Amino acid sequence: MLYCAGCGSTLQHGNDALGPYWHCPACKGRAVKLAELPQPPHRALEEIWQAADAQTVGPPCPECAERMHELPLPGGEATGKAAACRSCALLWLDARATQTLLPPAPTPVVAHEEEELSPEVRAALLMTEMQSQAYLTRETWEPPDEIWKVILAILGYPVETDAPLTNLTIPWVTWGLAVMISAISLLVLYTAPEAIATFGFIPLKAARYAGLTALTAFFLHGSWFHLLGNIYVLLVFGKSVERHLGSGRYALLLLLATLAGNFAHYLANPANPLPCIGASGGIAGIMLAYAFFFPRARFAVCLIVLRFYWLRLPAYVIIAIWLVQQLGLASAQLAGNTSISAFSHLGGAIVGLLCWFRWRQQVGEVERPGLPLPASRR
């Protein structure tokens, strides 16, 4: 499924004498995949494609969601706007550019004409294809442009390089929770560390305070690293999911994922006397929902093996790798070899998957030493 680079609507497939294309019924824009066109493509499309080396950042690609390069057109804005994605070999034209640049449907190319192509034309077509593949390789392995994203990736965090297409409403629940979690966690860390033993979720005493510790533990963290990691992941994944689902569904997803995470932690060891704290059970539900609603969103990760290696991976690949890690940690948790509650992550993730399955038709496919008790982190 392709999405309009102009308005985000779902594109529809069409075909005319120029070849196959994708058009937007709302804003009348058009996307053309060069690989699907008869060879050689019409001269008007070839001339537009030759300008694809321009470095002006344009709208997101309808296919891969990477930022396209906006192309200079003869006549300026009066001609319309066009952009190219070299990695997908795709051209995008808005409604005005489609009308002014594309000629009336030509006479279909006869099959035997392809055999009459000159060696120069064949060489040019081959070079275009090779340039497209080279661009894909270069783009995929480049680090992010922003220095703060480079630093976060080196520290081990995936950084969002191509955000999903969502509305621009303010994600009040995400920002509000980030502020509340930070304020409460810092207050506890520096003034009342004993609150972790009081309000953390203890499986052996799961019924304390009418079971409300399954919720209060969400706002507690045992160290700066624990807090900042969860806040970062909440903001990166939460803002897009909240905009897509709406604040009501999003808050319900967080609540159910948090409760399910604590329940899964309880099932792993009901006799555990240690408090479990952290927001990542609920955040795991957001991560799974993000991966299924926005599978085309891209993240950059940094691999360090004697040197820095950069990869840009789809969201679903990032989450799949994370899930495999959690399965390994769950085994270590049962053996008592880790203080991280992987079961709470997996419990929250299951809720995220179920919420996607339930709502997808409605919203679319888009440590601190000295604590009284050692706290399990999640």
Report which secondary-structure segment, H or E, holds 186. helix 172-191
Mean pLDDT of 119-128: 56
- 376 CA to centre of own chain: 29
Q: What residue ranges of the chain are covered by domains with CATH 1.20.1540.10? A: 147-377
In the CATH scheme, what is the code of domain 147-377?
A: 1.20.1540.10
Whole-number Å distance between alpha carbons of 269 and 257: 19
Residues 125-164: tens digit of each pLDDT: 555 544 444 333 344 556 777 787 888 888 888 888 777 7
Q: Are 216 and 199 in contact (CB under 8 A)?
A: yes
3-class SS of residue 310: strand
**Alpha-carbon radius of gyration of the chain:** 25
Q: Which ranges of 223-341 does DSSP label H, i.e. alpha helix? A: 224-245, 247-268, 280-293, 315-334
Place of tokens 């953390």: 200
Place of tokens 């803002």: 239
Q: Give the pLDDT band (50/70/90) at residue 47.
A: low
Residues 321-369: tens digit of each pLDDT: 999 999 999 999 998 888 889 999 999 999 999 999 999 887 765 533 3
Give the pLDDT confidence score for residue 72 in this predicted structure: 73
The percentage of the chain sitting over the pLDDT mark of 90, rounded to a whole number, equals 38
Mean pLDDT of 263-288: 94
- Specify the higher pLDDT residue, 17 or 191: 191
- Specify the higher pLDDT residue, 15 or 316: 316
Whether residue 266 is predicted with pLDDT greater than 60 in this model: the reply is yes
Give the pLDDT confidence score for residue 133 in this predicted structure: 41
User: Which is it for strands 82-85 and 19-23: parallel, antiparallel or unpaired?
Assistant: unpaired
Sign of CA pseudo-dihedral 246, 249, 253, 254: positive
Whether residue 77 is predicted with pLDDT greater than 90 in this model: the reply is no
Q: Picking from 103-117, 209-223, 228-242, 330-344, which range would have the lowest pLDDT averaged per residue?
A: 103-117
Give the pLDDT confidence score for residue 376 in this predicted structure: 46
Q: Picking from 33-37, 44-48, 130-134, 256-260, which range would have the lowest pLDDT averaged per residue?
A: 130-134
Q: Give the pLDDT band (50/70/90) at residue 3.
A: confident
Give the pLDDT confidence score for residue 217 in this predicted structure: 95
Angstrom distances, CA of residue 274 to CA of 197, 198, 319, 339 = 8, 11, 28, 10
Q: Give the pLDDT band (50/70/90) at residue 91.
A: confident
Give the pLDDT confidence score for residue 267 in this predicted structure: 95
Q: Picking from 82-96, 285-299, 317-331, 360-374, which range would have the lowest pLDDT averaged per residue?
A: 360-374
Whole-number Å distance between alpha carbons of 108 and 316: 41
Give the pLDDT confidence score for residue 109 in this predicted structure: 41
> Please, how many CA atoms are within 13 Å of residue 324, restricted to the half-sphere of its CB?
5
Average predicted confidence (pLDDT) for the chain: 79
Give the pLDDT confidence score for residue 42 in this predicted structure: 56
Whether residue 114 is predicted with pLDDT greater than 60 in this model: the reply is no
Whether residue 66 is predicted with pLDDT greater than 90 in this model: the reply is no
Mean pLDDT of 101-120: 50
Q: Picking from 17-21, 280-284, 371-375, which range would have the lowest pLDDT averaged per residue?
A: 371-375
Whether residue 23 is predicted with pLDDT greater than 50 in this model: the reply is yes
Collect all residues with Cβ–Cβ distance below 8 Å to 1 and sequence separation of at least 6: 10, 11, 365
- 20 CA to centre of own chain: 29
E-only strand ranges, the chain: 12-16, 19-23, 30-33, 57-60, 67-71, 82-85, 90-93, 159-162, 276-277, 298-304, 308-314, 376-377
Give the pLDDT confidence score for residue 169 in this predicted structure: 82
Residues 189-214: tens digit of each pLDDT: 888 888 999 999 999 999 999 999 99
Residue type, 47: E
Q: Are 278 and 220 in contact (CB under 8 A)?
A: yes
Whole-number Å distance between alpha carbons of 333 and 255: 24
Place of tokens 């040197």: 307
Q: Which residues sit opposite 302 in a β-bridge?
A: 310
DSSP 171: -
Give the pLDDT confidence score for residue 205 in this predicted structure: 93
Instruction: For the sheet with 298-304, list strands across it.
Output: 159-162, 298-304, 308-314
Whole-number Å distance between alpha carbons of 16 and 89: 19
